[in-house]
Amino acid sequence: MRDVALRVIQSETPRLLHYDTGADDRTVWGLGLGCNGSVDVFVQAATEARTLEPLREMQTRLARKSPFVVSTIVDGPDAGHAIVDDAGPRDAGSRVTHEGANLVFTEVFEPPPVLIVCGAGDDARPLVTYASEAGFAVTILDHRQAFLTADRFPLAQRLLCRRPEAGVDDLGVDPRTLVIVMTHSFAHECFLATNAQYIGLLGPRERADGILGPLGARDDSRVFAPVGLSLGADGPEQIAISVVAELLSVFSRQQPGHLREKTEAIHA
């Protein structure tokens, strides 16, 4: 792969490579590692003008936090050219299409799901770290300014100091937003009144019932209390793993279970 990349840089001609890992993994990867399948790899110089322009446009659109698509010609006379455009209603996933003599790979870029964590205590630190590394854009709310520091939460996108009575109307909560309430000083009804996809409450079931009962929210399907999957977790780090696993399950609309029990493809 290194030699191919060097030739692409020198010739400024992109290449589409095909590897079959089903026959001899050692030949392909050199380390005996593979997935017993096939993979196509498109190699293109990153400093060419035709590459830089789409990359700049992608950077601009990523800042807008709205979905978009990138269609790249990966094989054919126009290989290397890419177009960045708004995502349409039919752009539900990536695809490969033939357009005349060109083979086009279209990739859909969705903004990262937003996770709002209420409470900046020590138990929130592993949760924010794991959730951020898993692809969530994390906002932390707490009324204690001293707890909201970059040293404590280096991966959080936003650290907001506020009290429950300030509300959440300005947070942009939408159906892609997930919320975890780790401190019971925050007003849960603030988020129950929004269209957040998921609302998780940390703590024992009895406390959750005492909170949700008066609000008439015991049967709200968006509410997960106690929060997290049943993994036998103990301690802040393990609990954070169980919570992030539940977040991924809810956001992807997948029922959690063992991969060995799936009869279809792993990523189906």
Q: What is the pLDDT of residues 205-228, one digit of tens each?
A: 888 777 777 777 777 889 998 899
Q: Which contacts (CB < 8 Å, 24+ apart) does range 138-141 have? A: 138/114, 139/114, 139/115, 139/171, 140/116, 141/116, 141/117, 141/186
Expressed as residue numbers, the domain containing 163 is 114-251
Residues 228, 193: one domain? yes
Q: Which two tokens stand for residue 92?
A: 């539900």
Residues 51, 118: one domain? no
What integer pLDDT is reported at residue 268 of this predicted model?
63
pTM: 0.77
Alpha helix ranges (H) inside 134-216: 188-192, 205-215
**One pLDDT digit (tens) per residue for the chain, 268 residues:** 788 889 988 888 999 998 776 655 555 555 444 566 678 899 999 888 888 999 999 999 888 878 999 999 999 999 999 999 998 877 778 899 999 999 999 999 988 999 999 999 999 999 999 999 999 999 999 999 999 999 999 999 999 998 878 888 889 899 999 999 987 655 566 888 899 999 998 888 888 777 777 777 777 889 998 899 999 999 999 999 999 999 999 999 988 988 888 888 776 6
Report the alpha-carbon distance of residue 128 to residue 136 in Å, rounded. 9
Residues 236, 119: one domain? yes
Residue 181: phi, psi to the nearest 5?
Answer: -100, 110
Residues 101, 122: one domain? no
Residues 144, 221: one domain? yes
Domain assignment present for 164: yes
Domain assignment present for 32: no
Domain assignment present for 66: yes
**Boundary of a domain, candidates 77, 111, 145:** 111
Q: Would residue 225 be called left, alpha or beta, if left means φ above 0 and alpha means ψ between -120 and 50 degrees? A: beta
Q: What is the DSSP letter of 113?
A: P
Contact 21, 39 (CB under 8 A): yes
